[in-house]
Structure 1
Amino acid sequence: MTTDSLIEAAARLADLREQIGRAARLTNRGADDINLIAVSKTHDADAISPLLHAGQRVFGENRVQEAEGKWPALREEFSGVELHLVGQLQSNKAADAVGLFDVIHSLDRPSLLTALAKAMDAAGKRIPCFIQVNIGAEDQKGGCAIADTPALIAAARAADIPLLGLMCVPPADVEAAPFFALLAKMAREEGLPRLSMGMSGDYETAIMLGATDIRVGTALFGERPSPARPVPASGRGMLRNSSN
Protein backbone atom coordinates (compact mmCIF):
# COMPACT_ATOMS: atom_id res chain seq x y z
CA MET A 1 0.00 0.00 0.00
CA THR A 2 1.49 3.30 -1.11
CA THR A 3 0.90 6.91 -0.13
CA ASP A 4 -0.57 7.51 -3.58
CA SER A 5 -3.09 4.71 -3.12
CA LEU A 6 -4.15 6.15 0.23
CA ILE A 7 -4.59 9.63 -1.24
CA GLU A 8 -6.51 8.31 -4.25
CA ALA A 9 -8.86 6.21 -2.11
CA ALA A 10 -9.59 9.12 0.23
CA ALA A 11 -10.27 11.44 -2.72
CA ARG A 12 -12.61 8.98 -4.43
CA LEU A 13 -14.50 8.38 -1.19
CA ALA A 14 -14.84 12.11 -0.44
CA ASP A 15 -16.03 12.84 -3.98
CA LEU A 16 -18.59 10.05 -3.86
CA ARG A 17 -19.91 11.15 -0.49
CA GLU A 18 -20.27 14.70 -1.78
CA GLN A 19 -22.33 13.47 -4.73
CA ILE A 20 -24.43 11.27 -2.46
CA GLY A 21 -25.13 14.26 -0.25
CA ARG A 22 -26.14 16.37 -3.24
CA ALA A 23 -28.65 13.76 -4.41
CA ALA A 24 -29.93 13.12 -0.90
CA ARG A 25 -30.66 16.80 -0.30
CA LEU A 26 -33.11 16.71 -3.21
CA THR A 27 -35.19 14.29 -1.12
CA ASN A 28 -34.81 16.27 2.12
CA ARG A 29 -32.21 13.86 3.42
CA GLY A 30 -28.50 14.09 4.02
CA ALA A 31 -25.49 11.98 3.08
CA ASP A 32 -25.61 10.28 6.48
CA ASP A 33 -29.10 8.97 5.64
CA ILE A 34 -27.66 6.90 2.78
CA ASN A 35 -25.77 3.72 3.60
CA LEU A 36 -22.81 3.48 1.22
CA ILE A 37 -21.81 -0.13 0.60
CA ALA A 38 -18.39 -0.34 -1.04
CA VAL A 39 -18.59 -3.42 -3.26
CA SER A 40 -15.18 -5.02 -3.01
CA LYS A 41 -15.81 -8.18 -5.04
CA THR A 42 -12.75 -9.34 -7.01
CA HIS A 43 -10.54 -6.85 -5.12
CA ASP A 44 -7.88 -8.12 -2.75
CA ALA A 45 -6.94 -6.87 0.70
CA ASP A 46 -4.32 -4.52 -0.71
CA ALA A 47 -6.98 -2.74 -2.76
CA ILE A 48 -9.47 -2.64 0.10
CA SER A 49 -7.12 -1.38 2.84
CA PRO A 50 -6.80 2.20 1.50
CA LEU A 51 -10.57 2.66 1.72
CA LEU A 52 -10.56 1.28 5.25
CA HIS A 53 -7.82 3.75 6.16
CA ALA A 54 -9.98 6.51 4.63
CA GLY A 55 -12.80 5.63 7.01
CA GLN A 56 -15.12 3.45 4.94
CA ARG A 57 -16.50 0.64 7.08
CA VAL A 58 -19.40 -0.90 5.12
CA PHE A 59 -18.43 -3.32 2.35
CA GLY A 60 -20.24 -5.72 0.04
CA GLU A 61 -19.13 -9.03 -1.40
CA ASN A 62 -20.76 -11.26 -4.01
CA ARG A 63 -19.42 -14.65 -2.99
CA VAL A 64 -19.12 -16.33 0.38
CA GLN A 65 -15.90 -18.15 -0.47
CA GLU A 66 -14.15 -15.02 -1.73
CA ALA A 67 -15.16 -13.07 1.37
CA GLU A 68 -13.91 -15.86 3.64
CA GLY A 69 -10.49 -15.55 2.05
CA LYS A 70 -9.89 -11.89 2.85
CA TRP A 71 -12.23 -10.42 5.45
CA PRO A 72 -11.33 -12.27 8.67
CA ALA A 73 -7.79 -10.82 8.52
CA LEU A 74 -9.04 -7.35 7.53
CA ARG A 75 -11.49 -7.36 10.41
CA GLU A 76 -8.70 -8.15 12.83
CA GLU A 77 -6.82 -5.09 11.59
CA PHE A 78 -9.76 -2.68 11.26
CA SER A 79 -12.57 -2.43 13.81
CA GLY A 80 -16.19 -1.66 13.10
CA VAL A 81 -16.45 -3.32 9.69
CA GLU A 82 -19.97 -4.21 8.51
CA LEU A 83 -20.02 -6.84 5.77
CA HIS A 84 -22.94 -7.25 3.37
CA LEU A 85 -23.58 -10.17 1.03
CA VAL A 86 -24.90 -8.53 -2.14
CA GLY A 87 -24.59 -11.46 -4.57
CA GLN A 88 -26.62 -14.60 -5.09
CA LEU A 89 -26.52 -17.13 -2.26
CA GLN A 90 -26.75 -20.89 -2.67
CA SER A 91 -28.77 -22.62 0.03
CA ASN A 92 -25.85 -24.91 0.90
CA LYS A 93 -23.79 -21.80 1.77
CA ALA A 94 -26.41 -20.37 4.14
CA ALA A 95 -24.59 -21.39 7.33
CA ASP A 96 -21.31 -19.92 6.09
CA ALA A 97 -23.07 -16.68 5.15
CA VAL A 98 -24.73 -16.41 8.55
CA GLY A 99 -21.35 -16.89 10.20
CA LEU A 100 -19.55 -14.24 8.15
CA PHE A 101 -21.96 -11.51 7.04
CA ASP A 102 -23.83 -8.85 8.99
CA VAL A 103 -26.52 -8.25 6.35
CA ILE A 104 -27.77 -10.39 3.43
CA HIS A 105 -29.29 -8.66 0.39
CA SER A 106 -30.23 -11.68 -1.72
CA LEU A 107 -33.00 -13.61 0.02
CA ASP A 108 -35.09 -14.52 -3.02
CA ARG A 109 -36.78 -17.93 -2.67
CA PRO A 110 -38.46 -20.20 -0.12
CA SER A 111 -35.68 -22.83 -0.16
CA LEU A 112 -33.09 -20.20 0.77
CA LEU A 113 -35.38 -18.80 3.43
CA THR A 114 -35.63 -22.25 5.01
CA ALA A 115 -31.86 -22.72 4.89
CA LEU A 116 -31.18 -19.29 6.39
CA ALA A 117 -33.72 -19.74 9.17
CA LYS A 118 -32.16 -23.11 10.06
CA ALA A 119 -28.65 -21.62 10.01
CA MET A 120 -29.71 -18.66 12.15
CA ASP A 121 -31.37 -20.97 14.66
CA ALA A 122 -28.22 -23.09 14.86
CA ALA A 123 -26.01 -20.04 15.31
CA GLY A 124 -28.30 -18.45 17.86
CA LYS A 125 -28.47 -15.13 16.03
CA ARG A 126 -30.62 -13.37 13.46
CA ILE A 127 -29.07 -11.75 10.39
CA PRO A 128 -31.04 -8.86 8.85
CA CYS A 129 -32.00 -9.46 5.24
CA PHE A 130 -33.26 -7.70 2.16
CA ILE A 131 -35.54 -9.60 -0.19
CA GLN A 132 -34.15 -9.40 -3.71
CA VAL A 133 -36.84 -8.77 -6.33
CA ASN A 134 -36.36 -9.66 -9.99
CA ILE A 135 -37.67 -6.23 -10.85
CA GLY A 136 -37.15 -6.59 -14.61
CA ALA A 137 -38.47 -10.17 -14.84
CA GLU A 138 -35.17 -11.30 -16.39
CA ASP A 139 -34.67 -15.05 -16.71
CA GLN A 140 -30.91 -14.82 -16.27
CA LYS A 141 -31.08 -12.90 -12.98
CA GLY A 142 -31.79 -13.99 -9.46
CA GLY A 143 -34.52 -12.43 -7.42
CA CYS A 144 -38.06 -13.23 -6.41
CA ALA A 145 -40.75 -12.68 -9.03
CA ILE A 146 -42.74 -9.52 -8.34
CA ALA A 147 -45.99 -11.47 -7.94
CA ASP A 148 -44.39 -13.88 -5.45
CA THR A 149 -42.72 -11.24 -3.29
CA PRO A 150 -45.59 -10.62 -0.81
CA ALA A 151 -45.74 -14.35 0.00
CA LEU A 152 -41.97 -14.52 0.54
CA ILE A 153 -42.12 -11.47 2.81
CA ALA A 154 -44.87 -13.10 4.85
CA ALA A 155 -42.91 -16.36 5.08
CA ALA A 156 -39.75 -14.54 6.21
CA ARG A 157 -41.68 -12.74 8.91
CA ALA A 158 -43.22 -16.01 10.06
CA ALA A 159 -39.72 -17.53 10.27
CA ASP A 160 -38.52 -14.62 12.42
CA ILE A 161 -36.01 -13.46 9.84
CA PRO A 162 -35.54 -9.71 10.33
CA LEU A 163 -36.41 -7.94 7.08
CA LEU A 164 -34.84 -4.57 6.35
CA GLY A 165 -36.38 -3.94 2.95
CA LEU A 166 -36.22 -4.82 -0.74
CA MET A 167 -33.25 -5.03 -3.12
CA CYS A 168 -33.07 -5.02 -6.91
CA VAL A 169 -30.70 -4.92 -9.86
CA PRO A 170 -32.57 -3.29 -12.76
CA PRO A 171 -32.02 -4.38 -16.35
CA ALA A 172 -28.84 -3.09 -17.95
CA ASP A 173 -28.79 -0.49 -20.70
CA VAL A 174 -32.28 0.87 -20.04
CA GLU A 175 -33.50 3.71 -17.86
CA ALA A 176 -33.43 2.47 -14.26
CA ALA A 177 -35.85 5.02 -12.77
CA PRO A 178 -39.12 3.13 -13.44
CA PHE A 179 -37.71 -0.01 -11.84
CA PHE A 180 -36.51 1.91 -8.77
CA ALA A 181 -39.92 3.58 -8.47
CA LEU A 182 -41.67 0.20 -8.66
CA LEU A 183 -39.43 -1.27 -5.95
CA ALA A 184 -40.12 1.75 -3.72
CA LYS A 185 -43.87 1.29 -4.22
CA MET A 186 -43.64 -2.40 -3.31
CA ALA A 187 -41.67 -1.61 -0.15
CA ARG A 188 -44.19 1.00 0.95
CA GLU A 189 -47.06 -1.42 0.46
CA GLU A 190 -45.29 -3.99 2.65
CA GLY A 191 -44.19 -1.52 5.33
CA LEU A 192 -40.50 -2.12 4.66
CA PRO A 193 -38.31 0.92 5.38
CA ARG A 194 -35.17 0.32 3.34
CA LEU A 195 -34.34 0.06 -0.35
CA SER A 196 -31.07 -1.49 -1.55
CA MET A 197 -30.81 -0.12 -5.07
CA GLY A 198 -28.40 1.90 -7.14
CA MET A 199 -24.84 1.16 -8.27
CA SER A 200 -21.98 3.23 -9.70
CA GLY A 201 -23.87 4.23 -12.85
CA ASP A 202 -27.25 5.05 -11.36
CA TYR A 203 -26.95 5.64 -7.61
CA GLU A 204 -28.00 9.29 -7.86
CA THR A 205 -31.25 8.32 -9.60
CA ALA A 206 -31.79 5.61 -7.00
CA ILE A 207 -31.30 8.04 -4.12
CA MET A 208 -33.77 10.49 -5.62
CA LEU A 209 -36.31 7.66 -5.80
CA GLY A 210 -35.83 6.62 -2.19
CA ALA A 211 -32.75 4.39 -1.98
CA THR A 212 -31.41 4.02 1.54
CA ASP A 213 -28.57 1.61 0.67
CA ILE A 214 -26.45 1.95 -2.47
CA ARG A 215 -23.96 -0.64 -3.69
CA VAL A 216 -20.99 1.07 -5.33
CA GLY A 217 -17.86 -0.61 -6.64
CA THR A 218 -16.37 0.98 -9.75
CA ALA A 219 -16.68 4.57 -8.52
CA LEU A 220 -14.53 3.64 -5.52
CA PHE A 221 -12.15 1.00 -6.86
CA GLY A 222 -11.98 1.86 -10.54
CA GLU A 223 -12.78 -0.45 -13.42
CA ARG A 224 -12.33 -4.14 -12.75
CA PRO A 225 -9.92 -5.90 -15.10
CA SER A 226 -11.58 -8.07 -17.72
CA PRO A 227 -11.27 -11.77 -16.95
CA ALA A 228 -8.56 -13.49 -18.93
CA ARG A 229 -9.90 -15.46 -21.84
CA PRO A 230 -8.58 -18.99 -22.43
CA VAL A 231 -6.35 -19.25 -25.45
CA PRO A 232 -7.75 -21.72 -28.02
CA ALA A 233 -5.65 -24.80 -28.76
CA SER A 234 -4.79 -23.48 -32.21
CA GLY A 235 -3.79 -20.15 -30.66
CA ARG A 236 -1.57 -21.88 -28.15
CA GLY A 237 0.21 -23.64 -30.97
CA MET A 238 0.76 -20.37 -32.80
CA LEU A 239 2.05 -18.78 -29.61
CA ARG A 240 4.52 -21.61 -29.11
CA ASN A 241 5.69 -21.28 -32.68
CA SER A 242 6.07 -17.52 -32.42
CA SER A 243 8.36 -17.89 -29.40
CA ASN A 244 10.83 -20.06 -31.21
Structure 2
Amino acid sequence: MPDLIHNLEAVQQRIALAAQVAGRDPRSITLLAVSKTFPAEDVRAAYTAGQRAFGENYVQESITKIEALADLRATLEWHFIGPLQSNKTRPVAENFDWVHSVDRLKIAQRLSEQRPDNLPPLNVCLQVNISGEASKSGASIPEAVEVAQAIAALPKLNLRGLMAIPEPAGSIEEQRAPHRQLRELFERLRNDGLELDTLSMGMSSDLEAAVLEGATIVRVGTAIFGTRDYSH
Protein backbone atom coordinates (compact mmCIF):
# COMPACT_ATOMS: atom_id res chain seq x y z
CA MET A 1 0.00 0.00 0.00
CA PRO A 2 2.36 2.73 -1.22
CA ASP A 3 -0.11 5.58 -0.61
CA LEU A 4 -0.53 4.64 3.05
CA ILE A 5 3.20 4.38 3.58
CA HIS A 6 3.78 7.71 1.82
CA ASN A 7 1.04 9.33 3.93
CA LEU A 8 2.52 7.94 7.12
CA GLU A 9 5.93 9.35 6.25
CA ALA A 10 4.38 12.74 5.38
CA VAL A 11 2.62 12.95 8.74
CA GLN A 12 5.79 12.00 10.59
CA GLN A 13 7.58 14.77 8.70
CA ARG A 14 4.88 17.28 9.71
CA ILE A 15 5.35 16.29 13.34
CA ALA A 16 9.13 16.59 13.06
CA LEU A 17 8.92 20.06 11.49
CA ALA A 18 6.42 21.31 14.09
CA ALA A 19 8.62 19.93 16.85
CA GLN A 20 11.63 21.72 15.39
CA VAL A 21 9.73 25.04 15.38
CA ALA A 22 8.66 24.42 18.99
CA GLY A 23 12.21 23.51 20.05
CA ARG A 24 11.07 20.03 21.01
CA ASP A 25 12.45 16.55 20.41
CA PRO A 26 10.13 14.89 17.86
CA ARG A 27 10.66 11.61 19.72
CA SER A 28 8.66 13.11 22.61
CA ILE A 29 5.54 13.08 20.40
CA THR A 30 3.71 9.82 19.68
CA LEU A 31 1.78 9.46 16.44
CA LEU A 32 -1.49 7.64 17.07
CA ALA A 33 -2.80 6.31 13.75
CA VAL A 34 -6.61 6.46 13.92
CA SER A 35 -7.72 3.36 12.06
CA LYS A 36 -11.48 3.50 12.71
CA THR A 37 -13.57 2.29 9.73
CA PHE A 38 -10.45 0.93 8.01
CA PRO A 39 -9.80 -2.82 7.76
CA ALA A 40 -7.28 -4.83 9.71
CA GLU A 41 -5.22 -5.17 6.52
CA ASP A 42 -4.57 -1.41 6.55
CA VAL A 43 -3.46 -1.57 10.18
CA ARG A 44 -1.13 -4.44 9.32
CA ALA A 45 0.34 -2.44 6.43
CA ALA A 46 0.97 0.57 8.69
CA TYR A 47 2.48 -1.75 11.30
CA THR A 48 4.83 -3.19 8.68
CA ALA A 49 5.89 0.39 7.89
CA GLY A 50 6.83 0.90 11.54
CA GLN A 51 3.66 2.32 13.11
CA ARG A 52 2.85 0.80 16.50
CA ALA A 53 0.03 2.81 18.15
CA PHE A 54 -3.49 2.68 16.69
CA GLY A 55 -6.68 4.45 17.73
CA GLU A 56 -10.21 3.08 17.47
CA ASN A 57 -13.64 4.67 18.08
CA TYR A 58 -16.18 1.88 17.83
CA VAL A 59 -16.18 -0.98 20.33
CA GLN A 60 -17.41 -3.90 18.21
CA GLU A 61 -15.41 -2.94 15.14
CA SER A 62 -12.26 -2.57 17.21
CA ILE A 63 -12.62 -5.91 19.00
CA THR A 64 -13.00 -7.67 15.64
CA LYS A 65 -9.86 -5.92 14.43
CA ILE A 66 -7.88 -6.71 17.58
CA GLU A 67 -8.76 -10.39 17.20
CA ALA A 68 -7.76 -10.37 13.52
CA LEU A 69 -4.36 -8.91 14.45
CA ALA A 70 -3.76 -11.08 17.52
CA ASP A 71 -0.39 -12.19 16.13
CA LEU A 72 0.89 -8.60 16.51
CA ARG A 73 -0.51 -8.07 20.01
CA ALA A 74 2.81 -8.17 21.86
CA THR A 75 4.13 -5.07 20.08
CA LEU A 76 0.99 -3.31 18.85
CA GLU A 77 -0.65 -0.72 21.12
CA TRP A 78 -4.44 -0.21 21.02
CA HIS A 79 -5.96 3.10 22.11
CA PHE A 80 -9.71 3.62 22.48
CA ILE A 81 -10.52 7.23 21.62
CA GLY A 82 -14.27 7.30 20.91
CA PRO A 83 -17.29 8.05 23.09
CA LEU A 84 -17.72 5.21 25.58
CA GLN A 85 -21.09 4.20 26.99
CA SER A 86 -21.19 2.54 30.39
CA ASN A 87 -22.61 -0.69 28.94
CA LYS A 88 -19.61 -1.01 26.58
CA THR A 89 -16.78 -0.58 29.07
CA ARG A 90 -16.00 -4.27 29.71
CA PRO A 91 -14.58 -5.21 26.27
CA VAL A 92 -12.57 -1.99 26.28
CA ALA A 93 -11.19 -2.70 29.76
CA GLU A 94 -10.27 -6.21 28.66
CA ASN A 95 -8.66 -5.46 25.29
CA PHE A 96 -7.12 -1.97 25.17
CA ASP A 97 -3.89 -0.47 26.44
CA TRP A 98 -5.20 3.11 26.59
CA VAL A 99 -8.54 4.91 26.83
CA HIS A 100 -8.40 8.60 25.92
CA SER A 101 -12.13 9.29 26.16
CA VAL A 102 -12.86 8.96 29.87
CA ASP A 103 -15.34 11.81 30.11
CA ARG A 104 -16.83 11.19 33.57
CA LEU A 105 -16.02 9.40 36.80
CA LYS A 106 -18.62 6.63 36.25
CA ILE A 107 -16.80 5.44 33.12
CA ALA A 108 -13.48 5.39 34.96
CA GLN A 109 -14.99 3.43 37.84
CA ARG A 110 -16.37 0.78 35.50
CA LEU A 111 -13.06 0.47 33.64
CA SER A 112 -11.29 0.08 36.98
CA GLU A 113 -13.70 -2.63 38.15
CA GLN A 114 -13.55 -4.51 34.84
CA ARG A 115 -9.81 -4.38 34.14
CA PRO A 116 -8.53 -7.98 34.39
CA ASP A 117 -6.05 -8.67 37.20
CA ASN A 118 -3.58 -10.29 34.82
CA LEU A 119 -3.19 -7.12 32.73
CA PRO A 120 -1.15 -4.03 33.61
CA PRO A 121 -3.06 -0.92 34.73
CA LEU A 122 -5.12 0.64 31.95
CA ASN A 123 -3.67 3.97 30.82
CA VAL A 124 -6.41 6.61 30.73
CA CYS A 125 -6.82 10.26 29.83
CA LEU A 126 -9.58 12.52 31.11
CA GLN A 127 -11.43 14.01 28.16
CA VAL A 128 -12.02 17.74 28.61
CA ASN A 129 -14.64 19.68 26.66
CA ILE A 130 -12.19 22.50 26.10
CA SER A 131 -14.41 24.49 23.70
CA GLY A 132 -17.57 24.10 25.78
CA GLU A 133 -19.57 22.64 22.88
CA ALA A 134 -22.94 21.15 23.85
CA SER A 135 -22.45 18.34 21.33
CA LYS A 136 -19.05 17.28 22.68
CA SER A 137 -18.31 14.84 25.49
CA GLY A 138 -15.91 15.71 28.25
CA ALA A 139 -15.58 17.29 31.66
CA SER A 140 -15.77 21.05 31.79
CA ILE A 141 -12.64 22.91 32.82
CA PRO A 142 -14.04 23.78 36.29
CA GLU A 143 -15.00 20.17 37.10
CA ALA A 144 -11.92 18.56 35.54
CA VAL A 145 -9.72 19.08 38.62
CA GLU A 146 -12.04 17.17 40.96
CA VAL A 147 -12.74 14.40 38.43
CA ALA A 148 -9.04 13.94 37.67
CA GLN A 149 -8.20 13.58 41.36
CA ALA A 150 -10.92 10.94 41.76
CA ILE A 151 -9.79 8.96 38.71
CA ALA A 152 -6.16 9.03 39.88
CA ALA A 153 -7.22 7.26 43.09
CA LEU A 154 -8.86 4.30 41.32
CA PRO A 155 -7.10 0.91 41.25
CA LYS A 156 -6.06 -0.77 37.99
CA LEU A 157 -6.04 2.58 36.18
CA ASN A 158 -3.12 4.87 35.44
CA LEU A 159 -4.26 8.44 34.84
CA ARG A 160 -1.73 9.65 32.29
CA GLY A 161 -3.15 13.03 31.27
CA LEU A 162 -5.79 14.93 29.35
CA MET A 163 -7.45 14.66 25.95
CA ALA A 164 -9.53 17.17 23.98
CA ILE A 165 -11.18 17.57 20.60
CA PRO A 166 -11.30 21.36 20.12
CA GLU A 167 -13.77 23.13 17.89
CA PRO A 168 -12.39 23.47 14.33
CA ALA A 169 -10.59 26.75 13.70
CA GLY A 170 -9.01 28.45 10.71
CA SER A 171 -5.66 30.05 11.45
CA ILE A 172 -2.94 28.33 13.41
CA GLU A 173 -3.22 30.97 16.14
CA GLU A 174 -6.94 30.23 16.49
CA GLN A 175 -6.12 26.54 16.58
CA ARG A 176 -3.48 27.04 19.27
CA ALA A 177 -5.82 28.78 21.74
CA PRO A 178 -7.83 25.75 22.95
CA HIS A 179 -4.73 23.54 22.95
CA ARG A 180 -3.07 26.16 25.15
CA GLN A 181 -6.04 26.01 27.53
CA LEU A 182 -5.67 22.24 27.83
CA ARG A 183 -1.93 22.55 28.46
CA GLU A 184 -2.55 25.14 31.18
CA LEU A 185 -5.06 22.82 32.86
CA PHE A 186 -2.56 19.97 32.55
CA GLU A 187 0.11 22.09 34.24
CA ARG A 188 -2.31 23.07 37.01
CA LEU A 189 -3.07 19.41 37.73
CA ARG A 190 0.63 18.59 37.79
CA ASN A 191 1.22 21.43 40.20
CA ASP A 192 -1.55 19.98 42.37
CA GLY A 193 0.45 16.76 42.65
CA LEU A 194 -0.89 14.52 39.89
CA GLU A 195 1.87 12.67 38.02
CA LEU A 196 0.68 13.34 34.48
CA ASP A 197 2.78 13.03 31.32
CA THR A 198 0.30 12.96 28.43
CA LEU A 199 -1.49 15.62 26.38
CA SER A 200 -3.57 13.88 23.72
CA MET A 201 -4.51 16.65 21.30
CA GLY A 202 -4.20 17.49 17.64
CA MET A 203 -5.57 15.72 14.57
CA SER A 204 -4.97 15.76 10.81
CA SER A 205 -5.99 19.41 10.40
CA ASP A 206 -4.36 20.96 13.48
CA LEU A 207 -1.49 18.77 14.60
CA GLU A 208 1.05 21.58 14.14
CA ALA A 209 -0.85 23.84 16.55
CA ALA A 210 -1.09 20.99 19.05
CA VAL A 211 2.63 20.20 18.88
CA LEU A 212 3.46 23.88 19.37
CA GLU A 213 1.35 23.83 22.55
CA GLY A 214 2.90 20.68 23.98
CA ALA A 215 0.98 17.67 22.63
CA THR A 216 2.62 14.36 23.45
CA ILE A 217 0.15 12.27 21.41
CA VAL A 218 -1.41 13.44 18.15
CA ARG A 219 -4.36 11.45 16.78
CA VAL A 220 -4.20 11.32 12.99
CA GLY A 221 -6.49 9.29 10.76
CA THR A 222 -7.53 10.88 7.46
CA ALA A 223 -4.03 12.15 6.62
CA ILE A 224 -2.75 8.56 6.92
CA PHE A 225 -5.56 6.28 5.80
CA GLY A 226 -7.52 8.62 3.53
CA THR A 227 -11.17 9.69 3.49
CA ARG A 228 -13.46 7.48 5.55
CA ASP A 229 -16.54 5.71 4.25
CA TYR A 230 -19.23 5.77 6.93
CA SER A 231 -21.92 4.23 4.73
CA HIS A 232 -21.65 0.86 6.47
Give the TM-score, by structure 2 length. 0.90
8 Å contact from structure 1 (residues 99, 123) kept in 2: no
Match 1:212 to one of 197, 200, 216: 216
Give the superposition deviation at 1:108. Answer: 1.2
1:138-217 equivalences in 2 (<5 Å): 138-160=133-155, 161-173=157-169, 175-191=174-190, 192-217=196-221
- Structure 1 window deviating more from structure 2 (106-115 vs 181-190): it is 106-115
Match 1:107 to one of 102, 108, 133: 102
Give the superposition deviation at 1:123. Answer: 5.9
**1:85 and 2:80 correspond:** yes
**1:227 and 2:227 correspond:** no
8 Å contact from structure 1 (residues 52, 78) kept in 2: no
Distance 1:172 1:26 in 2: 22
Q: Secondary structure at the match of 2:7?
A: helix
Give the superposition deviation at 1:173. Answer: 4.2
Distance 1:171 1:33 in 2: 25
Give the superposition deviation at 1:12. Answer: 1.4
Give the superposition deviation at 1:55. Answer: 1.1
Distance 1:16 1:212 in 2: 15
Give the superposition deviation at 1:10. Answer: 1.9
Give the superposition deviation at 1:8. Answer: 2.1
8 Å contact from structure 1 (residues 105, 167) kept in 2: yes
**Which consecutive residues of structure 2, in runs of 5 or more, have no partner in the other structure?**
191-195
Q: Secondary structure at the match of 1:128?
A: strand
Instruction: Return closer, same or farther for 1:202/1:48 CA change in 2, 3 Å cut-off.
Output: same
- Structure 1 window deviating more from structure 2 (212-221 vs 27-36): it is 27-36
Map of 1:231 onto structure 2? none
Q: Secondary structure at the match of 2:84?
A: coil
Distance 1:47 1:117 in 2: 31
Query: How many residues end up aligned between the 2 structures?
Result: 223
Map of 2:50 onto structure 1? 55
Match 1:11 to one of 3, 6, 10: 6
Give the superposition deviation at 1:15. Answer: 1.5
8 Å contact from structure 1 (residues 131, 153) kept in 2: yes
**1:132 and 2:131 correspond:** no
8 Å contact from structure 2 (residues 15, 26) kept in 1: yes
Q: Secondary structure at the match of 1:153?
A: helix
One-letter identity of the residue aligned with 1:11: H
The structure whose RCO (Cα within 8 Å, separation 6+) is larger is 2
Give the superposition deviation at 1:107. Answer: 0.9
Identity %: 36
- Structure 1 window deviating more from structure 2 (48-57 vs 214-223): it is 48-57
Map of 2:193 onto structure 1? none
**Which consecutive residues of structure 1, in runs of 5 or more, have no partner in the other structure?**
229-244
Give the superposition deviation at 1:202. Answer: 0.3
One-letter identity of the residue aligned with 2:217: D
8 Å contact from structure 1 (residues 85, 104) kept in 2: yes
Distance 1:53 1:116 in 2: 31
Instruction: Return closer, same or farther for 1:12/1:99 CA change in 2, 3 Å cut-off.
Output: same
1:230-241 equivalences in 2 (<5 Å): none
Structure number with greater Rg is 1
One-letter identity of the residue aligned with 1:184: R
Q: Secondary structure at the match of 2:122?
A: coil
Distance 1:95 1:151 in 2: 25
One-letter identity of the residue aligned with 1:162: N
